[in-house]
Amino acid sequence: MSDAQSPTLPEGMKPCSMYRIQDPADGSYWDGHFLGGIFYENYRQMGRITGDTFFYDGKDADGQLSFRDGIAGNFRGLKLELRGGMVFLDLVEVV
């Protein structure tokens, strides 16, 4: 991917680093990881970052997108605020 095609990442996120999503309330991790602005679950692309917006392609049991318009939330630096502003999740760099 050329620089012209590279996604715009949230502040603090490094383009070639892997990040996992951690729930600070209980320390648990979501399945999957971010790499280069793309979100993968079990090595399958399931979402992407555009600017500070996280788009998620997952679907519910009825085959509908899990999040309206596919927008799961927004980043504030390395924190992910899920749609509705109720949950803040931390991005943790995997070294």
Q: Determine the pLDDT at residue 4.
A: 47
Confirm if 28 and 40 have CB atoms less than 8 A apart.
Answer: no
pLDDT above 90 for 2: no
Report how far apart the first and last C-alpha atoms of the chain are (Å, whole number): 22
Domain limits, the chain: 18-94
Q: Determine the pLDDT at residue 64.
A: 93
Tens digits of residue pLDDT in 17-31: 899 988 888 889 888
Q: Is 14 exposed, middle or buried (0-12, 13-18, 19+ CB in 10 A)?
A: exposed
Q: Which residue has the tokens 């049991």?
A: 61
| Interatomic CA distance for residues 37 and 34, integer angstroms | 6
Tens digits of residue pLDDT in 30-82: 888 999 899 998 889 999 999 899 999 999 999 999 898 999 999 988 899 98
